[in-house]
Structure 1
Amino acid sequence: MSIAAAIDHTAWKTIELERKPHAAIVWLNRPTVRNAFNEVMIAEVTEVFRFLSVDTSLRVVVLASRGPVFCAGGDLSWMKSMATYTPEQNLADAHGLADMLRVIDRCPHAVVARVQGACYAGGLGLVTVADVAIASDDAEFCLSETRIGLIPATISPYVLRAMGEREARRWFLSAERFDAARAARMGVVHEVVPVDELDATVDRLLATLVRVSPNALRESKTLVRDVAGRTISDELIDDTASRIAAIRVSEEGQEGVKSFLEKRKPNWLPQELPTISVTAPSEQ
């Protein structure tokens, strides 16, 4: 399914969608407010990821931001308006953010976060729902919620999964800032590179991701989610054995083994690997 006919790109107010061969780039586009969330951005990001998730021509989705800041968390004007919400309205609003994070987390394609500058609160949630996060060395992270009397509730399942409980006990409570190097040590991001190498690093990763079997990529994402945290038991062993047995006889499994033995490229590999630049036009 192609997304071209399914989405009205001109209707979006807070994001942009850029299409590349086998890849899409979702740009957060509120640079004047440091790409902070409001209810419109949450709804639009949710919508675009739902459509991208059913686009079978895609293999990778990049989540990036216009301007010098990745995401400063919640828009203060939006949060101020919540003071007038009823409990039911507040709950519905919170579910909107939680649903957005889950839609990105469950996207069947590889999701890559390109992180620069400040990444606070909900922005950190976006980073931790991505499969791979690449940060520039000027990136700065903060779970800032407790400074304004809140808690990082909806993002907590994903942030905890990334950094672990022990680290979360400090950073959830203290609202301290930490740099990209510490974020990498904790598992929040996978790689830290100089600012001027960020796009080239993401490009190399994308070129690698489009080389792998699309079906194996999707099944590997599911495998990680289903196996993580489970006790090694007879049931788990049976489950994993069944998965490898099934993929061995799949079309791409057969093609992969056959092409390897015949020393040729598999049929899912593009004849010409795309060059995917994620540099924002305003930054060129």
Structure 2
Amino acid sequence: MKRRIQNMASIECNNKDLVQLNQSNGISRILLNDTSRKNALSKNMLQCLIATLEKLKDDDKQKVIVIRGAGNVFCSGADLQWMKQGLLQTDEENRQDAALFYMLFDLLNSFPKPVIVWVEKFAIGGALGLLACADHVIADSTVKLTFSEVKLGLIPATIAPFVVNKIGISQARSLMLSAETFSAKKARRLGLVHEVLPARAIPERVDELCRLFKANSSQAMASTKHLLNKLEAKTNDTDIKELCLSKIAESRKSDEGQEGVKAFFEKRRPQWYK
């Protein structure tokens, strides 16, 4: 029997301040707004992002989506306070949590409107899933990025399919297994970022891109994205999803997953560090 995965239609935003939406002239600007946690992807943040995107998906008046982090910081990845709860949860609860990440990335990846992601300062762990699913990524030249999961005993499972499609299996292996911090310029060479600009030049470039996208047929852009995703797919979507949810749920409850998260909060090296 297949395990029940949370239905996207049931996702509700219980803290609308976490994701702020500003709409003007067909452009929807989404702001990740939890500066106290460096805009971490908490459960509430994910729910609000999913609910916001679901509303925008079929809104014919909106043609372009721009996602940015508040406080001149993009996103610190998954909320580790939330990850810490994994030990106390059932396997099904951990899978439901993992499903929220997969829902968000799958929704963004197949989103019928162009999605621009504006990256500042850093993008860590799960935040890189947002980059991998965007249509155009612009990064500040000082941005640092890292797939940090294995340092915490976790697995980048829910972002892996989308990252591999974006940068290839070889580069994903190197970066995900080493957890090396890399620059925006390297991210551009890999294809994870499309443009690297000085901070002062980004607002004008984002506006220019919005004008370009707005000049195009909404129906044609949506059909083109659907076509490209079909050409990209190599494995059954359900099989990939089940594998990803199982892996991340297992790692959240594992001894090393819990030790890694505890070590982070206790500001010490995990026991496996040599």
- TM-score between the two structures when normalised by the length of structure 1: 0.76
CA contact (8 A) 1:9 1:16 kept: no
Q: Distance in 1 between matches of 2:62 and 2:72?
A: 27
Distance 1:98 1:21, change over 3 A: same
Query: What is the correspondence of 1:132-143 to structure 2 with a 5 Å cutoff?
Result: 132-143=136-147
Report the structure number with the largest CA radius of gyration: 1
Matched, 1:191 2:198: no
- In the alignment, structure 2 segments of 5+ residues that lack a partner are 1-11, 235-274
Distance 1:46 1:229, change over 3 A: closer
Q: Aligned partner of 1:93: which letter?
A: D
Query: What is the correspondence of 1:201-212 to structure 2 with a 5 Å cutoff?
Result: 201-212=205-216
Cα deviations by residue, 1:228-270 (Å, 9 ceiling, x for unpaired): 367xxxxxxxxxxxxxxxxxxxxxxxxxxxxxxxxxxxxxxxx
Aligned partner of 2:55 in structure 1 is 51
Query: What is the correspondence of 1:26-105 to structure 2 with a 5 Å cutoff?
Result: 26-105=30-109
SS of 2:61's equivalent?
Answer: coil
Aligned partner of 1:110 in structure 2 is 114
SS of 1:67's equivalent?
Answer: helix
Aligned partner of 1:25 in structure 2 is 29
Distance 1:225 1:201, change over 3 A: same
Q: Aligned partner of 2:159: which letter?
A: I
Q: Distance in 2 between matches of 1:212 and 1:87?
A: 45
SS of 2:117's equivalent?
Answer: strand
- In the alignment, structure 1 segments of 5+ residues that lack a partner are 1-7, 231-284
CA contact (8 A) 2:13 2:48 kept: no
CA contact (8 A) 1:9 1:17 kept: no
Shift of 1:77: 1.1
Distance 1:143 1:189, change over 3 A: same
From 136, 149, 156, the counterpart of 1:145: 149
Cα deviations by residue, 1:48-71 (Å, 9 ceiling, x for unpaired): 001100101111011111013201
Structure 1 segments (4+ residues) deviating >6 Å: none
Matched, 1:178 2:173: no
Q: Greater RCO between the two (CA within 8 Å, min separation 6)?
A: 2
Q: Aligned partner of 1:80: which letter?
A: K
Aligned partner of 1:159 in structure 2 is 163
How many aligned positions are there?
A: 223
Q: Distance in 1 between matches of 2:25 and 2:14?
A: 21
CA contact (8 A) 2:110 2:229 kept: no
CA contact (8 A) 1:128 1:158 kept: yes
Q: Which has the higher helix share?
A: 2
Shift of 1:10: 9.2
From 12, 16, 30, the counterpart of 1:12: 16
Q: Distance in 1 between matches of 2:24 and 2:61?
A: 11
Distance 1:151 1:200, change over 3 A: same
Aligned partner of 2:128 in structure 1 is 124
